[in-house]
Structure formats: structure tokens, C-alpha cells
Amino acid sequence: MNVINDNKLHGDPGIEAHELHHEIPVSAEGATPMQRDRATTIFEKGAAGRRAFVAPKLDVPEVDGLLPDALRRTAPARLPEVSEPELVRHYVKLSRRNFDLDTGFYPLGSCTMKHNPRLHERVASLSGHARLHPLQAPERSQGALELMYNLERALGEVSGLPHVSLQPSAGSHGELAGVLLTRAFHEDRGQVRTKVLTPDTAHGTNPATVTMAGMTVVKVGTNPDGGVDLDDLRAKADDSVACLMLTNPNTLGIFDPNITEIAKIVHDVGATLYYDGANLNAIMGKARPGDMGFDIVHFNLHKSFTQPHGGGGPGSGPIAVSERMKPYLMNPRIVREDDGSFDLDDHGYEKSIGRLRGFQGNYGCFVRSYAYICSLGGEGLTDASETAVLNANYLLAKLTEHGVADKLPLAFGDGCMHEFVLSGAPMKKELGIKTLDLAKRLLDHGYHPPTVYFPLLVDEALLVEPTETETRETLDGFAEAIAKILTEAEQDPLIAQNAPYTTPVRRLDEARAAKTPVIRQPLG
Amino acid sequence: MTQYTAVTDADLAEMLSAIGVSSVQELFDRQIPADVRLGRALDLPEGMPEQEVYGHLRELARKNVSAEDEITFLGAGMYDHYVPAVIDMLLGRSEFLTPYTPYQPEVSQGNLQAMFEYQTAISELTGLPVSNASVYEGPSAVASAGYLARLANGKPKFVVSRGLHPHSRDTLATYAHGFGAEIVEVPLKDGVTDPDAWAEAIDGETGAVFFQQPNFLGAVEDAAALASAAKDSPAVVVGQYDPIPLGILKPPGECGVDVCVGEGQTLGNRLDFGGPSFGFFAATEAYLRRMPGRIAGETVDADGRRGFVLTLQTREQHIRREKATSNICTAQALNALAGVVYLTWLGKQGLVDLGELLLQRTHYARSALVELEGVTALHEQPVVREFALDLEGVDVAAVIRRCQDAGVNPGYALGRDYEEFPNGLLVALTEQRSKADVDTLVEVLGAAIAAERSAGVEVTA
């Protein structure tokens, strides 16, 4: 067996050396240095008395009995006891057990893993932004308010919906805002509407949000082309419907050609139309939700506007709405005064649904996304969407060229917007490997796999979103890797079935974790 | 082509040919109907080179007065603690900054183990056995606890202490209007939740009770008594805690609190004008399967080696959809990482030392400030890092402005949220405010009040 290069998690994965691993079981000690390095938490390291923190000196007269014993903690929290070098080494080593976008291709469908410019980290770290207290007086936070005002205007222009609130903390939070706005809109008209229509292709957050907002989900079917089934929509749209939540292009990567008709059906029964902005990266500068008839849209600043994903947060989910939804927006509102100064108005929207969180939203994300918009301008944003769509269609074509299409056919239609869904059903039937196996084998090739098993209505789904920031060479390499894995599976499906081999740990037993949950380090 | 894309003319020609179209526009035209195409350029300013964007963002930063520019005693939910350099370094690492949520656990062990460690730290801090991997931030964590209670017992009434952060009360009200719960507010008495009114408000229809520790006025509540008042009701006892004083304050798990939530900003996160930070969410074992958000759990890999995965996912939206315990997708992974690194940096003794230091300096500051003419304590309760003053007879906002002109931000005007305290000033400390800073505050605030008084006299005269 060859020596495996473990300097990097991905780099050269030593695939050839591993092809026999299904025959020669990898020893419990592991094949790579990283695998042999058993996971040890920070709570299992260090020794009593070690510390990284030196408290500032007590510079005031010490007074006893300031806190009654009954309110006092009796035993300290058993936090780690490590020196700063130990701390640094522990977390740096942990970091090396992650795959990340800066190192490799990350075509995770629906997540828009585009490059995160480091300029954004630099400007967000300027003390005037990073150390600004959220309750600083408006006259002393003019730069922040101006930035937020400008970002609101830009998002309004991109979406075609002029009234923006930056407050929601994530896409899911923006959805909740949207559904609560819808509720307020109907209540204001003396109407009780409890049904929200969502297509069966929708993100799971849509139905979960609807329930949280005290409403009921009614599913709408998908037609053979991957769009909304209009007959089903007509049958279900009546005056008990509050809203239709839609993603367009949808999670199949298909732009619904009937959008104008859909909007008409929904508006004719007095309901609102909600746009899930998860796929906005496909249409910036090309089409706008507001022009399609949507009333509310949420943005994922961590997708289209390149706030780094941070391993799963932070995100930011501003919303933009039409004129008729405006009175219900969240307070406080940023206002521009006649003299050009900015203010925060706690009562800016009279019929506001209220607050959805503390303070003004994830300002640090606003700084990054605003910097991105400043860098690209309208033309650059349009270029981003054009290139995202070009890259997705090119990757799809390359896969077809490699003869992948018969094992992994496109689930709907014959083209795509910025992402596409393949079905692994033929691959599973003919080669005996599931989409999950393909995904795990891709890890050995140094790629993060696409989204798997979503959308739910596609059997063995593989949702691929390359984004605009990848080079043609990267797309070529990925298409070749998929082709290679399929060829390999034709010869021996066990290789993919037992993959991965080169990652810090091998395939993990998720059932066991759920059956007897261990969710914290036991301490002696 | 922009600075972040790479399609040259030669690439474009080859790519279009591989796809079988003649232009990029054709890709859009075959998908988007003509009547909804934008058909014009976006009306946004032209793009700028990196150095100009930097210059613009720096100019905006300069228009703000940050905690770097003044001696600040402003708190009220977010606090200017020192963020250690190791956090900047670790959070800036590509491996933590740029991946997405750990859908592929084999290549996300760093992230998953950090979540597991975070959960352990929060569990230790709160004395509660179960913690998730974090939620958005503090006030929405309070509202999420309300939704947990709604799903757990279905009772329609929430009893809320007026000592709960105004933003938490507002956020809870917004959420509760959606999922259907009525809110009854219990007033403060002598700076803490009125115990009689609290006990009286709780009954068999109460789904949850909410208080804050220390409360918004900085007073330490008798958490055990508040929780105990709810023990014969179906109510879930929810406490919003500031994590920093938990080095010295009795943990919620020992006070009968069922769900402990709070704002995690103070744990190694910057102020950032209010976010991003994280909300922590810990609970008793009984609520494990009703928790919102992500939870990391321990397991083994195919070769029996220890590893970590996202677990108990059958609670979550991507599986349970409309039956999910929450609509939350991910966590605030990067901010929660800062949280666990910060707690590790402080360490077992450090958190206690920090708490004791704040306790002493807070006492010193309150004692010194009430010596000023026209300044009294708004309440006499024990305080650990923040306290409320009454500046009788002066316009607090004007006093604050005068102090800020002298380089000191004395705190938060309580009248904005509490009409019963029109002259209230909320003063907060962190370890970054020394005795010398407090002495400066005493001097500046005293002068500002005197100046405001005499200005008032002139106006009256």
C-alpha cells in the first residue's frame, strides 16, 4: 500500500491505494494519520490549574457579601483547563477535520456555495463596524444606518419589491416574517385565512414555518415538466387560502413558465404570493420576483450575497415586500430624513407585526453583502447569475458527454437554471450503488458531494449547484470524477458502497447516534 | 467576467458549444417567459475595485462611534467584553469560515466535534443536561422556547416578567400571535419580578413562564422562587440568562428552570451592531426530543472509531416538514464556535474570576454613582454586572448626549422601554472598564447632570 498524503484532508486522496480497501479491511487504528488520531474533546485535555485567561487585577476595594449565598453557585462549571497553546492546537487540528469551500469544489445544491471574498472579512472587522453597540444613538451610528439603508435599496432593486426589512436572522426566519405578514394582511381585512399552499418540491422550512405561524399546509402537485400543477392549484385556491409559497426557479432548477398565470390564480382569490429566495442566484438582473407578481421575498445573504456559511450559520434573511404588505413590516424602521441623515424609528410601520429578534439584525452580514454589491455593481450581479446558469448547464452537458446520463438522468426537463437535479434511480438499479454511495465516493476524490435525497419527489436525488465562481477546469474535473466512479462501480460496486476511505473518519453510524443519544462529553 | 468569475472568451465559446446554444441569453430565454424578463440593467451603482470598496466601507465605519472610540457603559443585552485574539484567528480559518452545515459528517468532524464541545460547555454552564448546537440569537431563542411549550402542553397562556428584555417580550409576542398564545405581563416590584403577582398569574392554563436572570434592570432574581411558583402548574419554566455571571450565580438547572436560553454575544462574539451572535438553548432531559435546531451526537465509524454526527434529526424541518419542532435550519455554528473557544479560553477558574471581578467593580460603580447629587439607585437588589439609576428631574437622553460629547457613554435610557422609569439609566460593566474608567464616568455624569440642571433652570427662568 502506498503512503497516503495526509497533509491535507483533500488534495491528493491516494485513491488508487484505497481501491482495495473493501477487500482488506482498514484496521481500527486507521489507514491515515488523521484516522489514527482518535477524536479527543477539549474536555479530555489539559490539567487542573491550567488557564489561557489572566483576569484583570481587582482595582477596587473588595467587599464581602455582595451576593447572598442562596443565589450563589456552589461548584464551578467544569469548563476545560488548558493553556493557550493547547487551545490553539486543539482547534486548529479540529479545523483540519473539515472540508471547506476555500479548499475544494462544493456543489451543494440549493446552498449557493460561492466564493467568499476576504475583503468582506476585513471590512467587517473594522472597529467602527465590529465594535459598534446596537443601542448606540442613531446620530452616532450614521455609517451603519447609511449602510443598511443602501443595502435595503439595493435588495429592493434586485427583487423588484421596494420595501425592505433586514431584520430576519436567516432564510427560515425571513419565511416566518413573510407568513406572519400575510397573516397580519388578512387580519387587517377582517379575514381569517389559515391555509398556505406549498409545492411538493418545497424546502422543508416552508411547511415548518407555516405550522409555526399557526396555519395549515396544503400541498400542491408538480406537473410533468417540473412546474406547479395548474389544475391542482386552481382546485385548491379558494378564499380560505392565505398564501402560496414558491421558489422560482424551483428546487428542480426549473423556472416555472406559468408564473404569471400562477400569480393571477393566487391573487384572484385574495391570497398573497411568497417567494423563497433560496434560488435568487439564478436570476439577478434577469428577472425579478416583484415583476412576476410576488408580494414578499426573502433573501439569503449567505447564498446569493456571499456571507460565508460558517459551518452552518450565521446567515441573514432580509425580506422585501410590495406596497400592500408594507404597513405590516417589522419595526424598527430605518428612515432617511430630509437633511440626508438616518434614523431608527421604533414605530416606523404602524401596523407592524412587531419584532422577530433583538436589535436590528445581523449587521455583520450586512457589511459583507453590501461590500459584495459595491464590488460587483448591477452589471456584476447580473454577470454572477449569467455565469451561474452557464456553469450549471455546462456541467450538465459535460456529464452527458461522459455518458453519465443513462445512469444519472436529469429528473425533469432538458436544461436548467443555476442548478439541476439528477436521479440516481437507474444507477442504483443497474450498478447497485445508491446516490449516498456516489456522494461518499466523491469525498475520496476531494469533492464535497452535491445535495442528496432532496428534493423529495425525485428518487435517489442528486441536486447539483456549481455556482458562478468555479472555473471550467473544476467543472471538467468533477464530471470526470463522477464518470470514473460509475465506471468503477460497474466493475465493483463494493468500492463505492464502503466509501469513503481517505476522510478523517469513515462512514458513520447515524442510527446508533439517534438510538442512544450522547450529546455531551461525560465528565468524571 | 468579474473578479470572482473565470469565464474567458475562449471558455465561453467552448462552454456554449458543449451546451449547444449560441449565447448565454439563450439559456435564460428558453427558461424565463418574455413577459417577466427584466429587459434592462439593474439600477445600481457601478462596481468598484477592491481598494475603493475598502475605502467606502472604512468611511462608513468612521461615521460610527464604536466601543473603541468612547468609554462605554452601554449594555442592555449586548456587552463590550474583550474578544481574545485566538478567536479572530480560529474563526478566520477557511476550514471553519467557509463550509456549510455538516451534511457530510465524514468531512465535517471539526465542525461537529466543536458543536459537541459547545453543547457540553453550555450544559455545564447552565446545569441542564441537554443543549442544542445554538439558535439565531437571544430574543428569538426566548420565542422558540415559547413554541416548545406550545407543542409540549398546548396551554394558551404565557406569563412573562416585565424584567425580561423588551426585545424578548416583543419577539415572543410576535411569535405567539402566530402560533396562538396569550401573554400576561407581571410587573416589577423593588426592581425584581413581583412575587405575589407572579404566583397569582400562574394557573392551570399557563403553558410557560418567562423571566430573565439578571433581569433587564440588572437585578438578580430569586430564580428558584420564581420557578417554584410554577411547579404545580403545567407551565414550562423558561429563564433567559446572561452567561457571563453564571460563573458565580446559581445555575438554572439547580433552580428548577426547565428551559434556559440566552444571548451568546458575551461569549467571544463582537458587538457587530447587534449581530450575528448566537442564542443558546438548554433544557431538561424531558424536552430533548422537542428541542429546536441542530444537535451533534457521538457515534462510531465503520471501523469503530469515535466520530460525531447531527442527531435526533427527526425533530427537524428537512425530515418532519410541517410537523417539525421548529423551522430553524442550521445553527449559528461559527458564533457558537467562538462561544466554546471563549469558555475554553476563560477556563474553569477564569469564568469565576471574571464573575467576581465584575461583581466587585459593579458594586464600586453603583456606590460611587449614587453619591452624585440627584442620582439614586432605582433598586437596591444585588447586581452583578449592570444596575439601574434614577436621575430624577433631568432629561436622561440629554444627559447621555452631554456625557458622550465628553467621551463617555454612560448607558441606556430606560424610559425608551419603561414608561414607569422615565429617568432611569441602565449602566453596564465589563472587564474592559477599569476603576479609572468608572471614576471618569462618575466625574462626567456628575458634570453632565449639573449642566443639564442649570440649562433647565435657564430655560425655566
For residue A3, how far is the Cα from the chain centroid? 37
Q: At what angle do helices B109-126 and A84-95 cross, to 10 degrees?
A: 130
Closest residue in A to B23 (Cα) is A390
Distance (Å) from the alpha carbon of A117 to chain B's nearest alpha carbon: 8
What residues of chain A lie within 8 A of the CB of B309, using their CB? Answer: 508, 510, 513
Interface of B with A in 434-453 (CB under 8 A): 434-436, 438
Are residues B247 and B148 part of one domain? yes
Q: Report DSSP state, residue B135.
A: B
Answer whether B57's CB lies under 8 Å from A126's CB: yes
Residues B334 and B447 in one domain: no
- Spans of chain A, pLDDT less than 50: 1-25
Distance CA A44, CA A90 (A): 11
User: Is the distance from CB of B305 to CB of A506 less than 8 angstroms?
Assistant: yes
Please report, for the domain that includes residue A366, its CATH number. 3.40.640.10
Given B319, B342, B365, the domain boundary residue is: B342
CB B292 within 8 A of CB B144: yes
pLDDT the model gives residue A26: 56
pLDDT at B320: 85
Q: CB–CB of A148/A324 below 8 Å?
A: no
Tell me the shortest Cα–Cα distance from A57 to chain B, in angstroms: 8
Residue B67 inside a domain? The answer is no
In a domain, A362, yes or no: yes
CA angle B105/B111/B112 to nearest 5° reads 55
A205·B168 Cβ contact <8 A: no
- Which of A115, A119, A362 is nearest residue B50 as measured by Cβ atoms? A119
pLDDT(B216) > 90: yes
CA distance linking residue A352 with residue A276, whole number of Å? 21
CA distance B211 to chain A (A): 15
Rounded Cα gap, residues A173 and A362, in angstroms: 12
User: Residue B94: which of A103, A158, A346 has the nearest Cβ?
Assistant: A103
C-alpha–C-alpha distance, residues A267 and B331, integer Å? 35
- Looking at the complex, report in whole angstroms how far the Cα of residue B188 sits from the nearest Cα belonging to chain A: 19
- My answer on whether omega of the bond before A249 falls inside 30° of 0, hence cis, is yes
Search chain A and give the residue with CA nearest B328: A172
Residue A421 lies in a domain: no
Predicted pLDDT at B303: 92
Q: Are residues B227 and B327 in the same domain?
A: yes
Q: Scan residues 184-213 of B and list those with Cβ closer than 8 Å to A.
A: none
Mutation to test the A interface, candidates B107, B137, B441, most A Cβ within 10 Å: B107
Report yes or no on B3 lying in a domain: no
Q: Is residue A502 part of a domain?
A: no
For residues B275 and B332, state if they share a domain.
yes
User: What is each CA distance from A520 to B19, B121, B441, in whole angstroms?
Assistant: 50, 8, 43
**Domain region containing A306:** 120-374
Is there a contact between B168 and A381 if contact means CB atoms under 8 Å apart?
A: no
Q: Looking at chain A from residue 346 to 405, which residues have their Cβ under 8 Å from any Cβ of chain B?
A: 346, 353-365, 367, 370-371, 373-384, 386-387, 389-390, 393-394, 396-398, 401
Residue ending a domain, choose from B342, B374, B395: B342
Task: Give the residue numbers spanning the domain of B180.
Answer: 85-342
My answer on whether B323 and B353 are in the same domain is: no
Residues B316 and B394 occupy one common structural domain: no
Does A210 contact chain B (CB < 8 Å)?
A: yes
* CA dist B432 → A186, B407, B428, B437 (Å): 50, 16, 11, 9
Query: Does A194 reside within a domain?
Result: yes
How do residues B265-309 score in pLDDT, each as one tens digit? 999 999 999 999 999 999 999 999 999 999 999 999 999 999 999
Q: Residue B377: phi, psi to the nearest 5?
A: -75, 135
Which of A128, A134, A170 lies nearest to residue B62, judging by beta carbons? A128
pLDDT digits (tens, 9 = 90+) for B22-59: 999 999 999 999 999 999 999 999 999 999 999 999 99
Let me know whether B355 and B338 are in one domain: no
> Which residue does chain B place closest to A159, by CA atoms?
B42
B49 Cβ neighbours under 8 A, 6+ residues apart: A375
Query: Which of B11, B150, B327, B431 to mutate against chain A (most A CBs within 10 Å)?
Result: B327
What is the number of domains present in chain B? 3
CB of A277 within 8 A of CB of A296?
no
Distance from CA of A424 to the nearest CA of B (A): 18
Compute how many other C-beta atoms are within 10 angstroms of the C-beta atom of residue B35: 11
Chain centroid offset of residue A240 CA:
32
Q: How many distinct helices (H) and strands (E) make up chain B?
A: 14, 17
- What pLDDT, in 10s, does the model give residues B231-251? 999 999 999 999 999 999 999
Say yes or no: A75 contacts chain B, CB-CB below 8 A.
no
> Does A289 reach chain B within 8 Å, measured CB to CB?
no
Contact A317, A172 (CB under 8 A): yes
Q: Quick check: is A252 in a domain?
A: yes
B261: left (phi over 0), alpha (psi -120 to 50) or beta: beta
Is residue B235, in this structure, part of any structural domain at all? yes
Q: Residue A3: its pLDDT value, please?
A: 33
Give the separation between CA A131 and CA B14, rounded to whole angstroms.
48
In a domain, A323, yes or no: yes
Q: Is the Cβ of B289 closer than 8 Å to some Cβ of chain A?
A: no
Query: What is chain A's percent helix, strand, coil content, to nearest 5?
Result: 40, 10, 50
What DSSP character marks residue A244? Answer: E
Q: Which residues of A are less than 8 Å from B60 in CB distance?
A: 128-129, 143-144, 146-147
Q: What is the CATH number of the domain that holds B455?
A: 3.90.1150.10
CA distance A431 to chain B (A): 22
Mark whether B142 and B188 lie in a shared domain. yes
Average pLDDT over residues B129-152: 97
Q: Which of B292, B312, B342 is the last residue of a domain?
A: B342
Query: Within A324-362, where are the H helices?
Result: none
Answer whether A440 sits within 8 Å of B67, measured CB to CB: no
Fill in the amino acid letter for B148: L
Mean pLDDT estimate for chain B: 96
If one counts the domains in chain A, the total is: 1
Q: Are residues B44 and B189 in the same domain?
A: no
Domain at B115, CATH number:
3.40.640.10
What is the mean predicted confidence (pLDDT) over B114-141?
98
Q: Which residue has the cell 428569538?
A: B140
Inter-chain CB proximity A208 and B327 less than 8 Å:
yes
The answer to whether the CB atoms of A398 and B18 lie below 8 A apart is yes
Strand partners, A83: none
What's CA B410's distance to the chain center, in Å? Answer: 21
Report CA-CA distances (Å) from B142 to A133, B262, B282: 21, 7, 11
* CB-based contact A455:A252 (threshold 8 Å): yes
Tell me how far apart the alpha carbons of residues B441 and B404 are, in angstroms, rounded to a whole number. 10
Is the distance from CB of B333 to CB of B134 less than 8 angstroms?
A: yes
In a domain, B4, yes or no: no
SS3 of residue A349 by DSSP: coil
Task: Select the residue from B51, B222, B273 to test the A interface by mutation, using most A Cβ atoms within 10 A.
Answer: B273
Q: How many Å is the Cα radius of gyration of chain B?
A: 26
The cell 476595594 sits on which residue? A61
- Helix (H) or strand (E) segment spanning residue B279: strand B279-283
Residues B376 and B447 in one domain: yes
Distance CA B305, CA B300 (A): 5
User: Residue B157: enclosing H or E segment and its boundaries?
Assistant: strand B157-161
Q: Are the beta carbons of A244 and A273 closer than 8 angstroms?
A: yes
- Verify that B57 and B206 share a domain, yes or no: no
Compute the count of residue pairs across chains A and B with CB atoms less than 8 Å apart: 716
Partner A, chain B 398-437, Cβ-Cβ below 8 Å: 400-401, 404, 409, 412, 416, 431, 434-436
pLDDT for B460: 55
| A211 CB within 8 Å of a chain B CB | yes
> How far is B392 from chain A, CA to nearest CA, in Å?
22
Residue A144: is it exposed, middle or buried by C-beta count within 10 angstroms (0-12/13-18/19+)?
buried
Instruction: Kindly state the greatest CA–CA separation across chain A.
Output: 79
Same domain, B131 and B171: yes
B313 secondary structure, DSSP code = G
Mean predicted confidence (pLDDT) in B365-394: 97
